[in-house]
Structure 1
Amino acid sequence: MSDELSDFFALPPFKADEALVKLRRDLRELKSLQEQGSGATPARFALKGVTVIELQRAPEATAIQARVAKRPSPRPEWVVHTLGSSAEVRKWLDGVRLAVKRWDDED
Structure 2
Amino acid sequence: MSDEPWGFAPPPFKAAEALVQLQRALRDQGLKERERGFEQAGKRVLEYELGEGQIAIRLAQRLQTNTPNWDRFALKSAADQRKLLDEVKKRLARWRDED
Aligned partner of 1:90 in structure 2 is 82
Aligned partner of 2:71 in structure 1 is 79
Matches of 2:81 and 2:12 in 1, distance apart?
14
**Paired residue for 1:34, among 13, 32, 35?**
32
Query: Matches of residues 33-52 of structure 1 in structure 2 within 5 Å?
Result: 33-36=31-34, 40=35, 43-52=36-45
Question: Structure 1 length as normaliser, TM-score?
Answer: 0.82
Contact 1:20–1:56 (8 Å) recurs in 2 = no
Q: What secondary structure sits across from 1:87 in the alignment?
A: helix
Matches of 1:83 and 1:29 in 2, distance apart?
19
Q: Aligned residues: percent identity?
A: 42
Matches of 1:89 and 1:101 in 2, distance apart?
19
Aligned partner of 1:62 in structure 2 is 53
Q: Tell me how far 1:47 sits from its aligned partner.
A: 1.2
Gap regions ≥5 residues in structure 2: none
Spell out structure 1 runs of 4+ moving beyond 3 A: none
Matches of 2:23 and 2:10 in 1, distance apart?
23
CA RMSD of aligned residues (A): 1.5
Count of aligned residue pairs for this structure pair: 95
Q: What secondary structure sits across from 2:97 in the alignment?
A: helix
